[in-house]
Structure 1
């Protein structure tokens, strides 16, 4: 018996597959710092995706997961809670599939991110308290929308065994490097999906590479990981969007993380500025957090006389933060002065 609703799902999945086939892999950039002669740094430029962040991979996976689990049908509204980058990617895929999309976002989200969602045809439902985004997204779902639910589903929607996930891509690109098996991979945690994918894949491939989560100081993941308590709350807020969650999200897996490095906001912002000086283009604050954590890991390796490679991520485009992290007046109004932290970073290599 012919089932028209299944025909639409089949075509939607094929559209997502074709998009993935058209998308070239993102670059892995090598950085050599004279201060660490025995350690090579690599940064995977996930901002090169069509929607400008590593969340492009996640958004595609979330749509596939919803389609293949029978949760998403033709013409249905789609909703998710997001501080910006995931919402932008989800709006892009929703437009591709001809579906209305609403992003539930904290009102303090960078204005450029809100504008990017709207430019892709999405609607932004802004809430004053960031802790309310989950409940608001659930309200939309109760009124008929398909909740993509990145925070609950990211770690299971991504195929961690391969299929060009971010871990497989990194290790394939490292194959011809002098130290092809990284000593460490460093990433931030928003949903926990990226750290779950990387940590699982390292074990699946039998590698000795360790996984470090870079976290804003006082973030819930850091305290939760130390105590193995999924109920802890963040002890401090952060201006670094996408990470530093106020609570431990269900997709964060404690046991596959080998270390958590906490980074103050001014260090993260200084790191983002430093990356602009190195690469000539801007990246967001979480990329600066990753850079700072990599330098902490490298210093520890150097103190132990270890050599090898460290791989991390450039998470999203810095143009989205022109009115926040790269705006001196915005920083001054919040008492943030990253100049001293920037001065402590290694000289930018020529």
Structure 2
């Protein structure tokens, strides 16, 4: 780095001290930056688009339900897209520097993906997470070279992350603030554009609804903005789990809404309304009981032959409800939602009878309601 201060052109020129020229161009850093950006972009070029799966429903309903399978990303979740966008945003803003750590507050999946990208560009990574985070996620972060800093209270992750960044000279990525702005929602590579391109040859190419749960709020913001920007009639529904502030914040138009207990559905639901949640862009919200979310993934295992994380269950329960309403109204069409991550990450939680019993979660009544819906179209 060089700093050059302008000097008068000749001894006769006035030296007022007002004219200055500070040059901070660092050749080594800019070379590193170009390579880092190229490396992150190359990851996107190597990744084929994720699949749009169909959930089997009776043909006579003339309603199609799709799952955008985000579990096929290299790091196994929807958060891979977010992490790539956050790294590109931070790199191009000059926030990530060689040798300095990236720190993130996370419930797990974003940290897994960010650890992957940090390793790609050769910077240290520290994930600040609640101690209750699934052990499999901790192992994945460590597999990608990251370090986990666990806290007892989920609300502490923000302050601890900022403190660690200040102490280490690193960068606090802050997904909960930057998720909605890091993704180019008008571009041709975001999740919304992908969904509509994949639906183009389907019998109902413009869905009646797209459902997405909120963790940062960034995905729902991208979907909603894209739908409005491309002038579509598709509704955007956000499904919210128990113990999350998003629903009350949206219902009462209160960005200060909070809850006293953290979400049991990893990856979604927050104790505060995060800055990346854009309530004005959303058409509808549903609060989904945790037992309904877990019951849904158990039914999906039978329907799809695979395990999904409980956030997918939250999404699909809301989608089932929308399909039921369409069926009751005699409407045809399609509904799209997201398969966020694989259930194998949660074998000791949502697929564990002792854990469910310890949490007081009884899935049987909701499983019965889903089975009734699949036969009749009624989700009572």
How does 1:1-350 map onto structure 2 within 5 Å? 3-34=27-58, 37-143=61-167, 144-234=169-259, 237-346=262-371
- Whether the 8 Å CA contact 1:36–1:302 is kept in 2: the answer is no
- The alpha carbon displacement at 1:304 in A equals 2.5
Q: Distance in 2 between matches of 1:260 and 1:346?
A: 24
Q: Distance in 2 between matches of 1:286 and 1:2?
A: 44
- Whether the 8 Å CA contact 2:66–2:337 is kept in 1: the answer is yes
SS in 2 for 1:103: strand
Q: Distance in 1 between matches of 2:127 and 2:79?
A: 14
- For residues 90-116 of structure 1, give each alpha carbon's deviation from its aligned partner in whole angstroms, at most 9, with x where no partner exists: 011111111110000000111111111
- Whether the 8 Å CA contact 2:55–2:303 is kept in 1: the answer is no
SS in 1 for 2:371: coil
- The alpha carbon displacement at 1:222 in A equals 0.4
- Whether the 8 Å CA contact 1:196–1:252 is kept in 2: the answer is yes
- Whether the 8 Å CA contact 2:106–2:128 is kept in 1: the answer is yes
- The alpha carbon displacement at 1:321 in A equals 0.2
Change (3 A) 1:36 1:298: farther
Higher relative contact order, chain-length normalized (CA < 8 Å, sep 6+): 1
Give the paired residue count. 349
- Whether the 8 Å CA contact 2:108–2:138 is kept in 1: the answer is yes
Q: Distance in 1 between matches of 2:60 and 2:218?
A: 30
Change (3 A) 1:237 1:83: closer
Q: Distance in 2 between matches of 1:334 and 1:35?
A: 38
Change (3 A) 1:145 1:207: same
Larger CA Rg, structure 1 vs 2: 2
- Whether the 8 Å CA contact 1:35–1:346 is kept in 2: the answer is no
- For residues 143-184 of structure 1, give each alpha carbon's deviation from its aligned partner in whole angstroms, at most 9, with x where no partner exists: 211111100000000110123100000000000001101100
- The alpha carbon displacement at 1:17 in A equals 1.2
In terms of mean alpha carbon deviation, does 171-180 or 209-218 score higher? 209-218
SS in 2 for 1:282: coil
Q: Distance in 2 between matches of 1:160 and 1:123?
A: 31
Q: Distance in 2 between matches of 1:2 and 1:251?
A: 33
- Whether the 8 Å CA contact 2:83–2:117 is kept in 1: the answer is yes
Change (3 A) 1:234 1:38: farther
- The alpha carbon displacement at 1:333 in A equals 1.4
Q: Distance in 1 between matches of 2:262 and 2:329?
A: 33
- For residues 63-99 of structure 1, give each alpha carbon's deviation from its aligned partner in whole angstroms, at most 9, with x where no partner exists: 0011000111111111000010000000111111111
- The alpha carbon displacement at 1:31 in A equals 2.1
- Whether the 8 Å CA contact 1:36–1:298 is kept in 2: the answer is no
- The alpha carbon displacement at 1:236 in A equals 5.5
- For residues 299-347 of structure 1, give each alpha carbon's deviation from its aligned partner in whole angstroms, at most 9, with x where no partner exists: 2222333221000000011111011111111111121121221122137
Structure 1 segments unaligned to the other structure (5+ residues): none
Give the TM-score, by structure 2 length: 0.89
In terms of mean alpha carbon deviation, does 340-349 or 165-174 score higher? 340-349
